[in-house]
Structure 1
Amino acid sequence: MSSTESPDTGSAAALPVPPAGPGPQAGPAETVRTVTLPRLTLTVRAPAGTPSGQDGDGEYGDAGSRRPRERALYVHGLGGSSRNWSALMPLLADRVDGEALDLPGFGASPPPEDGNHSVSAQARAVIRYLDASGHGPVHLIGNSLGGAASTRVAAVRPDLVRTLTLISPALPELRPQLAAVPTALLAVPGVARLFSRLTHDWTPERRTREVLALCYGDPAQVTPEGFDSAVDEFARRLELPYFWEVMERSARGLVNAYTLGGQHNLWRQAERVLAPTLLVYGGRDRLVSHRMARRAAAAFRGSRLLTLPEAGHVAMMEYPEAVARAFRELLDGATTEPTEITVDAGRS
């Protein structure tokens, strides 16, 4: 584990979740498609060349020879989108055919018809997509809220999960980070709309700077192009008539998940996960404390733990190369014993 102390979290967050995060728009490097299921529509992003929507194992290798390929599914966090994975997916494309979902109400996916934004509902959306696509078992990779939903999926449908990778998973904390309190406040009825009114005059640029300061260990790592992309996406999302309602209901769903007991408790479900698990925590994460890393490593049997002292809440966007290396080691099964790695700052 890292001995790096968390930065001061005493300042109030302007918006307690990332809108989508820096990442390329769909272009030559990515494809985006819409999947329609009964009462649910999902947007799916994949690197160009990924055989999305194909059934069976009829993919091609680099030399054009037919060979089976394993699948990966990426699940973003509260307020994020499939674009959060645009830096990581290409780094793993030689090993897995990856797809990233826009969860219901986020990215380009419309809200679910039943209005249910609980963690269990997000997990069901993932399960429904995997069942419909026939792609399971997959390497399931989740961040924050997506990590909580992915934990549920792995616990209740082990047949769908080959390995589990959790990046700053939103698992219950007895003493949440101070900077995470505004996220919990969004769950209170009316607070999201109040925040919308109070920040009505804020520019998308200001909102984006506040978000990046909250979610990144070092916001200076964001390129000008990445910042402009995030601003454009934030401006688009703010125009959606359901933006604040989805934020409120999703935050409430996450808070409710923290209070569940019995077999539905997220920590209890973590103990039920059978898939080999990689845990990734950032030493500068202001939303999920890196102090939870050891508890998570104990809960997920035989798990591997990667600690990135300089990373914040979105390590797959800040240090994609380090996360990719750890994922490859998970696939390779380098050891049979749980491992713990601390990676120094830098993008090596």
Structure 2
Amino acid sequence: MVKPLLILIHGVARTSRMWAPHLPLLQPQVDVIAPDLPGFGVTTGPFRFDEAVAQVAADLDAGLGTGGGRTAYVCGDSAGAMVALRLAVRRPEAVTGLIVSGVQVHPPRVLLALQGVFMRAIPAARYSEDDPGVTKESVLTAVRELGRVDLRPDLAAVRARTLVVCGEQDRANLSAARRAAAGIAGAQLRVQPDAGHLWSEAEPEAFSRMLLDWAVPS
């Protein structure tokens, strides 16, 4: 039996390394591809949204191969969720299922301005402490680029079976999650109790179980 394909897309200030704790839980049941977005990890930058979508689309095609008969699920976290959503619209014939966690549909300017002030104040060395594939320049470039993205027109065009997820404590993104779930036909909304924005990192086992329940339903 051919296993489903699962694409995992990291967010800003992260690389594909964020998914390392999930792989032992996921790989017995799904084949995983976890790329580094432009400007992060081993992928050269700068980050450009359309280029990021095109890169993940190429990874998707490579994972699906030419044999047919394989299903593909795409999961994005934070900024990666924005990439995943646009990918599902660009490649509806290839994306069977979509999971977006902490997604922004049209990032509010006030939120981005506050985020920019906070990120510029952080010393450059801090960005690479946990992951050497992250730099201050790459993060600030990505935040500026994401501020130009508007996914509101994309919502009605999503055809994939969609799960929209947001942490209960992620107040900056909860309204956007509700908007995404309302705008995507048939989408389900899951608010994770007592969880923050990057609950995928805080609770890798619970997040992985959720992914498997969506991609490999019993």
> TM above 0.5, one fold?
yes
Tell me, yes or no, if structure 1 residue 253 matches structure 2 residue 145.
yes
1:327 aligned onto 2:211 = yes
In structure 2, the CA distance between the partners of 1:87 and 1:176, relative to structure 1 (3 Å rule), is farther
Structure 1 range deviating more: 301-310 or 166-175: 166-175
User: Is the CA contact (8 Å cut-off) linking 1:163 and 1:275 kept in structure 2?
Assistant: yes
Per the alignment, residue 231 of structure 1 pairs with 129
Return the alpha-carbon distance in structure 2 between the equivalents of residues 182 and 280 of structure 1: 23
1:83 counterpart residue number: 17
Alignment check: 8 A CA contact 2:10 2:18 kept: yes
Query: Displacement, 1:75?
Result: 0.5
The size of the alignment, in residue pairs, is 214
Largest Rg, 1 or 2: 1
- Equivalence for 1:118: 48
Please give the secondary structure, in 1, of the residue aligned with 2:34.
Answer: strand
TM-score by length of 2: 0.84
Select which of 83, 98, 108 maps to 1:149: 83
| 3-state SS of 1:306 partner | strand
Alignment counterpart, residue 153 of structure 2, candidates 256, 268, 286: 268
Greater displacement, 141-150 / 244-253: 244-253
Tell whether the 8 Å contact from 2:72 to 2:96 is kept in structure 1 after alignment: yes
Alignment CA distance shift 1:185-1:81 (3 Å) = same
Distance 1:175 1:252 in 2: 10
What's the TM-score, normalizing by structure 1?
Answer: 0.55
Distance across 2 between alignment mates of 1:232 and 1:321: 20
User: 2:185 aligns to what SS in structure 1?
Assistant: coil
Superposed counterparts of 1:44-63, under 5 Å: none
Name the structure with the higher helix share.
Answer: 2
- SS of residue in 2 equivalent to 1:94: coil
CA RMSD of aligned residues (A): 2.8
Cα 1:333–1:107 shift into 2, 3 Å: same
Q: Give the secondary-structure state (helix, strand or coil) at the position aligned to 1:158.
A: coil
Alignment of 1:97-116 (within 5 A): 97-111=31-45, 115=46
Q: Is the 8 A contact 1:92 1:324 kept in 2?
A: yes
Deviation of 1:277 after TM superposition, in Å, equals 0.9
**TM-superposed deviation, 1:312:** 1.3
Q: Distance in 1 between matches of 2:59 and 2:190?
A: 29
Q: In the TM superposition, what is the alpha-carbon distance from 1:174 to its structure 2 partner?
A: 4.7
Aligned in 2, Cα 1:247/1:142: closer, same or farther, shift over 3 Å?
Answer: same
Compute the displacement of 1:146 (Å).
Answer: 0.7
User: What do residues 61-102 of structure 1 show as CA deviations (whole Å, max 9, x unaligned)?
Assistant: xxxxxx311111100011211111122232222321112111
State the secondary structure of the residue aligned to 2:93. Answer: helix
CA distance in 2, matches of 1:319, 1:244: 26
Q: Which runs of 5+ in 2 are unaligned?
A: none
Q: Which residue of 1 aligns with 2:163?
A: 278
Are 1:71 and 2:5 matched, yes or no? yes
| 1:289 Cα offset (Å) | 2.3
The residue identity in structure 2 corresponding to 1:81 is: T
Q: Is the 8 A contact 2:104 2:173 kept in 1?
A: no
